[in-house]
Structure formats: C-alpha cells, structure tokens
Chain A
Amino acid sequence: MNPVITAEHLTIRFGSFTAVNDVSFAVGEGEIFGFLGPNGSGKTTIIKALCGLLTPTGGTGTILGMDIRKDAAEIKRNVGYMSQKFGLYEDLTVGENIDFYAGVYGIDGQKAQRRKAEVLELTGISSYLKRRAGQLSGGWKQRLALACAIIHSPQVVFLDEPTAGIDPVARRALWDLFFGLSGQGVTFFVTTHYMDEAERCGRVGYIYLSKLIAIGTVAELQNLPDANPTGTVRIEIYIPNPSQALDRIRRIDSVREATIFRHSIHALVESEGLSSLTKQLPEARIAAIEPSLEDVFVTLTYKIMKDSK
C-alpha cells in the first residue's frame, strides 16, 4: 500500500479537553476510507488537523508525503473538502459557484473552462448551470458541492458527513460518483453515521471518546477478538413477537447484549448459558451468526464503557 494519508500518534487538545487522543492510521492511494464515530468524538477535528487548519498538540501526519505541520498551504492546494453544510453560495448560480471555487484554487482561463466542463459532465449537473444553488434539492446541492470540491483535481478528498439528510437514491448516486473517482486514483476520507455507508468503504476506522478503537476492513472488524469475546457466541433468535420478548431475553444472566434486528433478535450470549437459554425459550429458533458492523461497534463501545468504570 502506498500511503497517501498518514497520522502518527496524532493528539489534539483544546485546553484541558483532549479532542483527539493518540490516533494513528494510514490510508492508501485510491482507497475509500470510512471514519465512524458519534458526534463530538473528534472526526472533524482530525480532518481539520490533516488539512493543516489545526496544529496538533502531539504526533504528526502527512498528506501525499507533505507534513501537516509545515506544508499546510501546499496541502490545501491538493486536497478537496466537502462538508454536510456544502459551502455553497445559495444566491449564486451553479455555474458561478463552480467559477468561484475554480478562481479560489487559482485555476483560470482555458484550464478553468476545461475543468468546469469535466466536473459538470462527471456530476451530471450541466442542465442546472443557470439555476441558483439555493433552488436545488439536497441531492443536487451535494453534487454541486462535490463538483466545487474537486474542481482543482485533488488527489485526496475529505468528505465530512457528505450524505447527512438526503434521500437514499441521491445517496447512492453520490456514492457511485465517489467510486468512479476512486477508480481514477482519488483517495477518499469519509466520515459518516450510517452503517451501510461504512460497509461500502474499503476500510473503516471507529473513533470513540477521541480514541481510534478499531480499524480494518469490514471482515477484519467482524473477526476482531474484542468484538467476539472468548466464551461468547453471537446468535440470532427467531421468536414470535420479538419486541415483547426482548426485555425478557435481556434479563437472562447469560445474555450480554440483545437488540432487535428486523423480525428477530441479535444477541451476544455466554457459550455456557446457551443450552439453558434454549430451554428458557422453547418457542424460539436459534442460529449462530457473524456480527454485523453495528454489532461490532456496539460491543466495542460497551467494552470501553465497562473498562473505564
């Protein structure tokens, strides 16, 4: 793997508050790297530090081989950034927004025209060229925001919750765009709340309470020892009326976690208690399963909460 984004023991403090605590990772060229974590866990702060907007308190990082502490100006020229707020001027037209960002990145003349045509083609937004950005729907605003974020052909793009609050069709269309660009060698660093989005990513990092808890491909995360504690099994319980049964199942001693999943219940139970559980739930059909990504993160979070007590 040829690392394009690296963080080594990155630590950022605001006064006594530690927003990012000793985080290390590397993202390879053309990868789509997903970054998951609850609000306030430090996702945006890491992006800001990697773009050179914040000087880390400790540790270091690189983007395309450039030092985030020293080469902030050069880094900004080579990365794209798109946030959930889009950063669009609603009273300007689609074309004017793109022209503005082209100008801001120092692209002008023929090159700007060529590049504008390219991003319009890529995002399929040409037909709205003269429309005010404020009149576009959420999905189209996002396409425009992406067009603006990649106008300078960046090799690295940071997406901070890019699909918050838009409909599934627009979301999928946007992800198709990300995949298309990543196929051309563009590296994506995406933060998200959505598990299904995280599952689309090549690799995923999970940050909780300012610490990077887990990192790897989805399969690697599913097989993490901490997500599958020894002496436990993860099972799916098919039971009539699972919503009513959930409380009863949670009260059984050998059940560590239980949650409803469609028409059944997913549970993490101690292996020793499995046979007694079967007896206690005669009406249920039980099968062993792999943990979902959500299961993995919930189990990891519980473990941290328990350890810190």
Chain B
Amino acid sequence: MSRLFHGLVPICRKEFLHILRDPGTLFFALLIPMLQLLLFGFAIDTNVRQVPTVVFDESRTQDSRQLLESFAASDVFHLTSTAGSANEMYGAIRSGKASVAIRIPYDYARNLQAGTPATVQVLIDGSDSTVAGQAVNTSIGVALEHSLARVLPDGKIPIEVLPSMLYNPAMRSANFFVPGLTAILLQVMIVLLISLSVVRERERGTLEQLTMTPVTPLGLMIGKMIPYGVLGFGELCLILLVMRVVFWVPVHGSVFALLLMSLPFLLTVLGIGLMISTKARTQAEAFQLSMGTILPSVFLSGYIFLIDNMPPFFQGISRIIPATYYIQILRGVILRGAGFEDLWANATILTIMGCAAILVAARMFVKQKS
C-alpha cells in the first residue's frame, strides 16, 4: 500500500512551499475569483424591468390613456417616448432607442364602446429573447386584465391564481447565479493551478528527475492534489462568505452538508487538472486546455441555461459534466435547504467521476513515460 503512494508526503510538503513562495499563485488563486464573483454577481440580472417603450397613441382618448397607465404600472415597461407617426415608431425600435412599441389605433375607444373587439398592437424587438418573452407575457396580462374589468363590472374574477415563490421569493438573480458561479470559479481555479504545477515541472526538467526516483505516479498525483485541494476548499469558504455578506444570499440548508458534498467535486476537478497535465507540454497549452473544460461547464451545466430546455443531445452531454451535479448540490442546499437525503446521488456520481479521473490520469502518466 505505502509503495503505491511512495513520495506522497515529500511532494505534498514541497508543493505547499511552492505555493507559499509564490505570492502570485496565492493572489491568482484567491483574489481573482473574488473579483469575478463580484463582477458577475452584480452584472448578471435576468429580471426584466423598465424596458424602454415607445408609444404611438392614435386614439388619444381616456380609454387609451387608461390602458397605457396599466402598461406603465407593470414595472416591465418604461414609456420613454411618444411617436407621432408609424414611421417614427418603427424608427425608434430600429435605432434601439426602444425595445417595445405600443400602438393604439384611432378606432380603439370607438370599438370598445361599440362592444366590437378593439385591437392594440405591441411590437417587440425579438433580439433579446428574455426581454421579448417577458414583454409578450406582460402585455397579454395587461390586456386580459382590462378585458375582464369590462366583462365583470364588479371586478370580481372567478378564478384567482396566487403564485408564491418558494426559496427565492424576491426572484433575485444573484440567488440563482451566485451558487452556480461558485462551481465555475472553483473549477477554473483548481484545474488551472494543478495542471500548471505539473506542466511547470515538466518544462523545468524536475519531472524527468522525479521519474528516476522511486516516486510512484499515484504518490506524485495525490501529493499534488492535497495542497491544491486545501486551497480550493479555502476558496470555497471565501466565496460562500462573500455570497452571504455581499449578495445577501442566505444558506437555507446545512453549511456542513454543503462543504462535505463539495469534496467530491474538488476531487473531480483536481483529477481533470491532472489529466490535462499529462497531455499538455507547455504552460500555455495547459492554460488553453483548462479553459476548454470551462466552456461546456458554463453553458451546458445548467448554470445559465435550463438543462430541461436543451435538445436531448446536449442534455446527454450535460449529464457527463461534473459541474452539472455540483451546481444542483449548491442550489439545492443554498436555496432550497436540501440535505444529504436529497442530494446523495449527486455526491456519489461526483465521487465516482473523481476517482475515475484520477485513475485515468495516473494511467496516462505511466503510459507516456514509456
């Protein structure tokens, strides 16, 4: 057993010395992700509010003004300008000054009084799908509300839906994005640091020297994983602290459970970093390969886009991405107060992935020596 891991302790000790000697690594490891967290945490807001809207009111009646007031009251539309002609209205959208145009035709009030259907045209710039979707829903809602008010003079609606948001009542984007971002930041940092640390040894010839000593591949790899795992764990604690203090995202579940279930993810990304390090010849190559693992983790892990909305092929891919499972753990514990009993399957999958990654990396390492 001890022969299998020969060299683990001295490698581990030496790696800690490297980290302490090189303040650049520490800075990169701890501060850069913090900056990214602040940037992304503040910048990403998918809640649609105050969309600039141009109004072309041909009717100019009390009825049309009432309708426009409802639009303005929705908080989704911000009536920024009025247009005097259809051309002017289209111009406002084309130039990007407005994303939505509301056109109330001259016969609006007349039709309304006569009991024939009155039409309102809502033009939406579809180039931002989130904004467009929200604008469509809200305008239909506004129209429906006005119609019902006309049909039911006492204003009593037979069925009332009471949507109530569990877990993220304020619908804040930070609550949704910051837990996911934690996974991405941890992955970037750890994959990069550990792969660079091995490739640096290859470039400087110390790896060749190590292969001439009794150090075993597993001893070398696990000796490298421990220091960077510790660094990653520290980073995780720091991210959670910033999340709580700066973004006011409360952790509904047990912090202990979250930290414990983070270990298999750390194991997996350390393994991925090691796999990269067996392939990359230069530090630049290691950097590129590390970044290559980040893209699918950002787009296919459910961090930004819902996995359920993806075509089956991409859903399949998302199932082999470790970040997918960890993001579910993070959101589960932080937002919904889930625990081991809900997320043990995710933790188990990550553990299996992690062990597999390390064994594959060790194999690749042995193979490439000969």
A and B together in one complex: yes
A226 at the interface (CB under 8 A from B): no
Stretch at the interface among A1-9, A83-91, A119-127, A244-252: A83-91
Q: Are A81 and B21 in contact (CB under 8 A)?
A: no
Q: Which residue of A lies closest to B369 (CB)?
A: A53
Number of interface residues of A (CB under 8 A): 28
Q: Which residue of A lies closest to B214 (CB)?
A: A76
Could you say which residues of chain B place their CB within 8 Å of the CB of A102?
10
Q: Which residue of A lies closest to B207 (CB)?
A: A87
Bound form: Cα–Cα A53–B18 in Å: 27
A38 at the interface (CB under 8 A from B): no
A128 at the interface (CB under 8 A from B): no
Q: Are B208 and A96 in contact (CB under 8 A)?
A: no
B36 at the interface (CB under 8 A from A): no
Q: Are A76 and B14 in contact (CB under 8 A)?
A: no
Using an 8 Å CB-CB cutoff, how does the interface string of A70-85 with B read, 1 for contact, 0 for none? 0001001101010101
**Option from B3, B208, B214, B369 in Cβ contact (under 8 Å) with A105:** B214
B210 at the interface (CB under 8 A from A): yes
Could you say which residues of chain B place their CB within 8 Å of the CB of A99?
10
Bound form: Cα–Cα A55–B367 in Å: 12
B309 at the interface (CB under 8 A from A): no
Q: Are B3 and A81 in contact (CB under 8 A)?
A: no
Known contacts A83-B205, A87-B209; is-contact A55 B17 (Cβ 8 Å): no
A181 to chain B, nearest CB (A): 18
Number of interface residues of B (CB under 8 A): 25
B202 to chain A, nearest CB (A): 11
Known contacts A53-B369, A104-B10; is-contact A91 B205 (Cβ 8 Å): no
**Option from A55, A85, A90, A105 in Cβ contact (under 8 Å) with B213:** A105
Q: Are B204 and A90 in contact (CB under 8 A)?
A: yes
Chain B residues 1-28 with CB under 8 Å of chain A are 3, 6-7, 9-11, 13-14, 17-18, 21-22
B95 at the interface (CB under 8 A from A): no
**Option from A54, A73, A88, A90 in Cβ contact (under 8 Å) with B214:** A73
**Option from B3, B10, B204 in Cβ contact (under 8 Å) with A100:** B10
**Option from B17, B205, B370 in Cβ contact (under 8 Å) with A85:** B205
Bound form: Cα–Cα A131–B10 in Å: 20
Known contacts A92-B21, A96-B14, A103-B9; is-contact A85 B211 (Cβ 8 Å): no
Q: Are B206 and A104 in contact (CB under 8 A)?
A: no
**Option from B3, B210, B214, B370 in Cβ contact (under 8 Å) with A55:** B370
Interface-centre pick from B14, B17, B210, B212 (highest chain A CB count, 10 A): B212
Bound form: Cα–Cα A100–B215 in Å: 12
A101 at the interface (CB under 8 A from B): yes
A190 at the interface (CB under 8 A from B): no
Could you say which residues of chain B place their CB within 8 Å of the CB of A54?
370
Bound form: Cα–Cα A106–B7 in Å: 7
Bound form: Cα–Cα A55–B10 in Å: 28
Bound form: Cα–Cα A99–B208 in Å: 18
Chain A residues 220-268 with CB under 8 Å of chain B are none
Interface-centre pick from A54, A88, A99, A106 (highest chain B CB count, 10 A): A106
Q: Are A77 and B211 in contact (CB under 8 A)?
A: no
A51 at the interface (CB under 8 A from B): yes
**Option from B11, B17, B205, B370 in Cβ contact (under 8 Å) with A87:** B205
Could you say which residues of chain A place their CB within 8 Å of the CB of B9?
103
B247 to chain A, nearest CB (A): 37
Known contacts A87-B206, A104-B10; is-contact A73 B3 (Cβ 8 Å): yes
Could you say which residues of chain B place their CB within 8 Å of the CB of A53?
211-212, 369-370
Interface-centre pick from A87, A91, A102 (highest chain B CB count, 10 A): A87
Q: Are B10 and A103 in contact (CB under 8 A)?
A: yes
Could you say which residues of chain A place their CB within 8 Å of the CB of B18?
89, 91-92
A101 to chain B, nearest CB (A): 7
Q: Are A88 and B212 in contact (CB under 8 A)?
A: no
Q: Are A89 and B14 in contact (CB under 8 A)?
A: yes
Bound form: Cα–Cα A103–B219 in Å: 12
Contact residues of A with B, CB < 8 Å?
51, 53-55, 73, 76-77, 79, 81, 83, 85-92, 96, 99-106, 158
Can you list 24 contacts pairing A with B, beta carbon distance less than 8 Å?
A54-B370, A55-B370, A76-B214, A79-B212, A81-B212, A81-B213, A83-B208, A83-B209, A86-B205, A87-B208, A87-B209, A89-B14, A91-B22, A92-B17, A92-B18, A92-B21, A99-B10, A100-B13, A100-B14, A101-B213, A103-B7, A104-B7, A104-B10, A104-B210
Q: 20 additional contacts, CB 8 Å, given A87-B209, A103-B9, A158-B212?
A: A53-B211, A54-B370, A55-B370, A76-B213, A76-B214, A79-B212, A81-B209, A81-B212, A83-B209, A85-B204, A85-B205, A85-B206, A86-B205, A89-B18, A92-B14, A92-B21, A96-B14, A100-B13, A103-B10, A103-B13
